[in-house]
Structure 1
């Protein structure tokens, strides 16, 4: 018998309809044996250290038939990316004491039966929380979207929406380091100022203060946009399309503005894709994880040489997770939203 511990868990109360609320999730306390159960081959039992708050966590709370994410079921523990320490293992690839990042539960302790989405952490001279973001799924998303989907050329004009979000802040900096002209949009003047002063964007604007997004983009890109790293979809995508240059490229990373809308409310300007022969490609980061070693080889030196700025918004305690997740849809966070579950 293994040691038994109290396990606090964030549970889906019922399917989300409309804007997510903290009350859609409940905090439950149970007990867990700190041992992989007999007969559960290939599994690991972990203590969660950090949890990553990402929009797809809320998308999975909705009852959706055609999503590339499976919906949670009411009563299920919320799942997402996290950083954890292995307490027990029946998997030869992982041993007790290993640090990992990957899909885990929003709880203090998790039994992970499928370890295909787990990555062993070997570089520990950077903050472990970075593996919820810049050194994890978030960083890989920015890397794959900019380099693999957009195929950038030095000197091109790049627009990044939600530019101070977890992915946007990295995509914009990758573009600057590559030698591009970069403009970002954000939802407050403070965020706009940060993009220009701290993150090195060439320019930025507050989309909430623009009566005409089409005109705003014409102002910042008088010769057109070569690359649009789209994190929001909706009206911003609709405005960006007629401002794209011929043979422009769009990396469709996310459409956070559209997730909570009814079907008839969703918008677009898609004829421009044909008229301007624009390449717009949606992508799922899972398909690019084979490039993770190549990504680490590029990004770790940039972090250590302080050539990349990376901002985290860390809240403490598993109890803070529902508010942190919901806050993603109101722009409450500045940078990557992370929950500190337990000290290392």
Structure 2
């Protein structure tokens, strides 16, 4: 079983590094958020404050290097490089699913990054189906092993039903969130994996004690697509039908914010302007995954740092040009919402 998980993880890295697993037609709809230009911003660019509070820690900028991998030697190397970048830049860093180390403790070192990121906000990661079947004490051991500050509990039914050998029984998920929110001493983050979170689900999560949701909306990497490219026969045909399934990132961010929860805007975030638009819709921070991985693989740490420099410069510039000196001011900045996004936001 552990060798099968490791093989799958390596395949995931290879596929997620390419643009072949992007959504085909569905977009994030962040392009439908237009921030209104301010000709008299009365701000100095260098004085704009990008800091945000997330899960009990202050980030220098509202960026999460989003959950991607773990469970293989290659994955461990990627985790350590990205964690070191997050530490140096004051970001948060998310680990990939810890299912592999749960099944095989010898894989635990591929998730351990505290020696290179002692201060970064570190997010552990476990599937809700796996969490459902584990005692809380066992989950605590997984958290303590990596020194996580919070635990992402991911929801991925669309991915699993296409994945060869994936989960098929998703009962007990909400009860699991209620148990963990009540029993863990660290925050629990409800996290999707590319299909977004509806207003209905956000309300259910809020009512059982969850306070933060990583929306991981449609428009970026399609994990259905990842599994479709790994599948054969009927499973492959099923995946082709559901390749573009999901709620756009912009919609999920707005719905989660309306519910009173703190959204992390992950899913198709490619630029600082995307980050600005997500913050304007209510996000506390934005998660970036595939573009960071691609930049790292193309140019090493210098390449990843250059990409993130550009993201921060674009975010800071967007804030200046709409007269927002802080992220709270950006959330209240005037904006125009395009018709497709407006149509989504008019429904629940």
TM-score (norm 2): 0.31
- Structure with bigger gyration radius: 1
Structure number with higher relative contact order (C-alpha < 8 Å, ≥ 6 residues apart): 2
TM-score (norm 1): 0.32
Q: Specify which structure has the higher proportion of strand.
A: 1
